[in-house]
Structure 1
């Protein structure tokens, strides 16, 4: 009798330590229709949100200008000289000021706030094209970074030179989710137009791909909470000791009653 009690309690304890696969698997299908499609080797098609990052105040960009104009007649070579002086692009890049302008040598102030990288490149090409022959402008956003905290394998602040980085890529950069990450309750802290908001996203479902928050914006903070199971596991030694202590007490009481009844 006592052995059975110990066995069932121990089995229940072990089962309570398990984290269901559905709480760990990214991009799960929600409907039976999707499950049937998967079994038939079809992929579910999800339309991504139309996203192109638009430059804003505080951004820093690097700019390279090439041209068919001979070097001795190209005043914009000084841009390359300036940006090659420092190995840190944040120090040598061009800041988008409070009014949305960058200041370029030989051109002056150029309004870029609200433009995509491609639109800003084209605008600068049109301006320098008045001075040099067949210009080609390459612009890169170098101030884009995000922070990811909580149940990931490498918490921290990460830079990215891509202006289109999604939340799954960010999780990958951070070494992936831990065993006890609650992927259904991830929070994104985002500041836009001077207003900071917090939004909960679920990376366990496929629909995250179509979400407005699928793609990150500069300075986003990703908070990955832990499942409730983690707290239980962290205290499992104490829990196990208490459980078996309770069983031992019950067993002692049963033995006492058995002796009394026997006598």
Structure 2
């Protein structure tokens, strides 16, 4: 009877510890339950992105008379579907000195500037050197896609590009097929480049307070890494049924081996 109790306790201990709890799979959980009337909307203060080396820009210069600005838009892709290859070959690359080369204007320094600051600088040069205000100069400056890298326990790893101005980490992960069942949502690593070097951040995506993290809203060229849970290393199964099957298999193998050695 004592041996049965020991076996029973060991069996369920393995079964429980090898399963992945549901609370480890749910995003943005509230620690304190509040009524809908108690919840308040908090503003998100996101600083504008400042351009770095190797960024790719899409710059489009417009005017009342389109022929006046055709030469300035020599690199701009105006027809056909926009794809990653087209963006790479037709976009304006920020070189190692922080400059982009624009037809006629030549080099324009953009390093450390926001997109709005670059737009204003280009418009000022055009109006100071080539046009009057009557030309109706209108400049559009955008990142040629929001680029980031995701690796680890997600369905689709690699470099991703999303064509929108802002991307949060949940959108980025969803665009990568979501985190697998064996991925650690409680300790996702985000590596971010700064002028002084690269910094590493940790974020718990199961906690609603993660929305206040400085890396919840991504910046272009961020690197996201999702670590595996210990259950994947053990190989015992992600669910109770898988774990039960594993335990039964091990017990069957042990019983068979014991009987063979006994005979």
| TM-score bucket (shorter structure) | 0.7 to 0.9
2:27 partner SS: coil
- Are 2:78 and 1:80 equivalent residues in the alignment? no
- Give the distance between the partners of 1:7 and 1:234, measured in 2 at CA: 18
Match of 1:54 in 2: 50
- Give the distance between the partners of 2:127 and 2:235, measured in 1 at CA: 65
Q: Is the 8 A contact 1:48 1:211 kept in 2?
A: no
Q: Is the 8 A contact 1:121 1:138 kept in 2?
A: yes
Q: When the two structures are aligned, how many residues end up with a matched partner?
A: 242
> Pairwise CA RMSD of aligned residues?
3.1
Cα distance change, pair 57–46 in 1 and its aligned pair in 2 (3 A): same
Q: Is the 8 A contact 2:52 2:98 kept in 1?
A: yes
- Give the distance between the partners of 1:166 and 1:44, measured in 2 at CA: 20
Q: Is the 8 A contact 1:83 1:93 kept in 2?
A: yes
2:186 partner SS: helix
Q: CA deviation at 1:180?
A: 1.8
Q: Is the 8 A contact 2:186 2:203 kept in 1?
A: yes
TM-score, length-normalised on structure 2? 0.77
Q: Is the 8 A contact 1:181 1:227 kept in 2?
A: yes
Q: Is the 8 A contact 1:117 1:140 kept in 2?
A: yes
Match of 1:141 in 2: 143
2:57 partner SS: strand
Match of 2:110 in 1: 112
Q: CA deviation at 1:9?
A: 5.5
Match of 2:228 in 1: 226
Match of 1:65 in 2: 61
Structure with greater Cα Rg: 1
Q: CA deviation at 1:243?
A: 4.0
Q: Is the 8 A contact 2:149 2:160 kept in 1?
A: yes
Q: CA deviation at 1:172?
A: 0.8
Match of 2:82 in 1: none
Match of 1:92 in 2: 90
Q: Is the 8 A contact 1:62 1:94 kept in 2?
A: yes
Match of 1:151 in 2: 153
Gap runs ≥5 in structure 2: 80-84, 238-242, 259-263
Cα distance change, pair 199–84 in 1 and its aligned pair in 2 (3 A): closer
- Give the distance between the partners of 1:225 and 1:194, measured in 2 at CA: 26
Match of 1:27 in 2: 28
- Give the distance between the partners of 2:158 and 2:220, measured in 1 at CA: 14
Cα distance change, pair 54–139 in 1 and its aligned pair in 2 (3 A): same
Cα distance change, pair 82–234 in 1 and its aligned pair in 2 (3 A): same
Cα distance change, pair 17–124 in 1 and its aligned pair in 2 (3 A): same
Match of 1:210 in 2: 212
Deviations 1:240-259 (A, max 9, x none): 44445668999xxxxxxxxx
Counting only pairs closer than 5 Å after superposition, residues 29-44 of structure 1 correspond to structure 2 as 29-30=30-31, 32=32, 35=33, 37=34, 39-40=35-36, 42-44=38-40
TM-score, length-normalised on structure 1? 0.77
